[in-house]
Amino acid sequence: MNEETILKQTEEHIKNKLSGEGSGHDWWHIYRVRKIAVHIGTLENADLFVVQLAALLHDISDWKFNDGNFNAGPGLAREWLEKLQVRAEIISHVCEIIKGVSFKGAGVKTKMGTLEGMIVQDADRLDAIGAIGIARTFAYGGHKSREIYNPGIRPEWHGSF
């Protein structure tokens, strides 16, 4: 299967899985992250196939929705990519990006080891700022039944995840 077909099938798979998701980790978040990542990746001469696969699959099963299990998302991504017969080294690269891409709390370092990983992580974080980022924050808080504001609840600072 060629790269274009793999990307198209992955896009459809994720669109079907995440359309209508209410926490801010929906299809349109994936769409925006992919567009930003492709733009950055083009400027940085990155492997755009890896960038796009990782951007499309980065929230397939985020740790925040799996009791902190960092392997849930990479596991589902691996199953999907193996089904499409993607080369093993690309699958490993994409899964490593997915495992490390998510924000894990203030003060927690999440350094990526590859250019493609840095690009997808930057694209994901760019989607978390501005008006869309604020809206996503409220959507996620509502999804988790959190109050918008309660002065009795102090911020939690984390030295590690």
- Note the pLDDT tens digit of each residue in 84-113: 999 999 999 999 999 888 765 555 566 788
- Domain boundaries, given as residue ranges, for the chain: 3-143
* H or E element in which residue 39 lies: helix 27-43
What value does the CA radius of gyration of the chain take, rounded to a whole number of Å? 16
CA distance 150 to 152: 5
Pick the CATH number of 3-143 from 1.10.10.10, 1.25.40.10, 3.40.50.720, 1.10.3210.50: 1.10.3210.50
Q: How confident is the model at residue 128 (pLDDT cuts 50, 70, 90)?
A: confident
What's the chain's length in residues? Answer: 161
Q: What does pTM read for this prediction?
A: 0.80
